[in-house]
Amino acid sequence: MAESSEFSKSMLDQLPIESFWDIPLYQWEGFWYRSYHLQATMALRSHFSARHDDIILTSPMKTGTTWLKALCFSIVNAAARRNKTPAAETLAKTDEDDPRRHRDPLVENHPAVYVQTLEVQVFTSNPLPDVAAMKSPRLFHTHLPYTALPDSIKTSDCKLVYIARNPKDTLVSMWHFFNKLRTPQQGPYPLEKAFELFADGVSHFGPFFDHVLQYWNQSLKAPDKVLFLKYEDLKRDPIGEVKKLASFMGKPFAHDTEVEDVVWRCSLERLKNLEVNKNGVDPWVGMHNSSFFRTGIVGDWKNTLSDEMSQRLDRLTESKLKGSGLRFEI
């Protein structure tokens, strides 16, 4: 199918379709999207021009995206305060650098307000925002697979930071998250159906393993351009991993107290207990901010998946990742 600046209904009708939590997903170039994600992806590919100092965060759904957004936003702004350079440019208004106020922007808004997802928030706006007018450095996020990114992101010197998570915790987190969209009368979506969809690769921006492997392989080919992080490593050694992240972004910490402050500010326990995240609502998808924070525990899948599901997913993971060199802590 030839690329267009938008997907018409007739074009959508030509694509394979599957039901995910009773939501229609369309398969385009091997991956699954909601119709408005496809529209936004076409607009992104047509109108977005990457800069050499852009930082693009990337992830499958439910692998630590919100945590990564908070960390990278805080890293860039900490460097800006230290060096008296421009803070991370966002589409949200912030007076973080106002010397009269010493505050943390994360107290006032969910991290997604400061680091917006290109195909969910930015290129779904009407009219489209003038991202070309934003000052550098720009900080964005995307759930898109690597092959769907605009060519300018792939060929420029901008940085890509990817976060992955073991598939069992990803699936369980996804199940809890999308159940928030269901009414009490509907009840939770059947876990068995959710499992089969995930195993078959049907999920937003899935298949999961194809998505992960695209970015993993790119990180091996171009380690200076693509940083591949694992959620489990961030949980195990947040100080070490955040130092590595800041250095990759070109914003290394001057003192250990700085990294400790960022890790504290962005900790799951702190973020989930901030008033804005306990009671606020995401204006783009209409979900409570609290929906984006649950336990964050590595291995929480053990409280949900059956032994048979666990063993099947183990076999599938081994098959999909065989020969790649990629391993997940289960």
pLDDT in tens, 66-104: 999 999 999 998 887 777 765 665 555 444 444 334 468
What residues of the chain score a pLDDT lower than 70? Answer: 1-7, 85-103, 280-293
Contact partners, residue 225, CB within 8 Å, separation at least 6 = 157, 158, 159, 160, 218
Q: Indicate the DSSP class of residue 120.
A: I
What pLDDT is attached to residue 209?
A: 98
What pLDDT is attached to residue 298?
A: 87
Longest dimension (CA), the chain: 58
Q: State pLDDT tens for residues 127-152.
A: 888 999 999 999 999 999 999 999 99
What is the rounded CA–CA span in Å between residue 84 and residue 102? Answer: 15
What pLDDT is attached to residue 232?
A: 96
Q: Which of 89, 195, 175, 96 is nearest to 132 (CA)?
A: 89
Q: Which of 151, 75, 54, 69 is nearest to 117 (CA)?
A: 69
Q: Indicate the DSSP class of residue 107.
A: G
Q: Which of 277, 262, 260 is nearest to 107 (CA)?
A: 277
What pLDDT is attached to residue 157?
A: 96
What is the rounded CA–CA span in Å between residue 226 and residue 81? Answer: 26
Instruction: Write down the pTM of the prediction.
Output: 0.90
What is the rounded CA–CA span in Å between residue 95 and residue 135? Answer: 15
Q: Quickly count: other Cβ atoms within 10 Å of residue 200's Cβ.
A: 11
Joined together, the tokens standing for residue 112 give 């997604």
Q: Position of tokens 């098959």?
A: 319
Give catalytic residues, as residue numbers. Answer: 143
What pLDDT is attached to residue 308?
A: 97
Beta pairing, strands 139-142 & 23-28: unpaired
Contact partners, residue 286, CB within 8 Å, separation at least 6 = none
Q: Position of tokens 């706006």?
A: 125
Q: Position of tokens 């460097």?
A: 79
What pLDDT is attached to residue 3?
A: 46
Q: HSE-up of 287 (CA within 13 Å, CB side)?
A: 16
Joined together, the tokens standing for residue 288 give 């409570």
Contact partners, residue 145, CB within 8 Å, separation at least 6 = 30, 31, 205, 210, 211, 214
What is the rounded CA–CA span in Å between residue 23 and residue 18? Answer: 8
Tell whether omega for the bond before 137 is within 30 degrees of 0, i.e. cis.
yes
What pLDDT is attached to residue 83?
A: 74
Q: Position of tokens 């693509």?
A: 226
Helix (H, G, I), strand (E, B) or coil at 101: coil
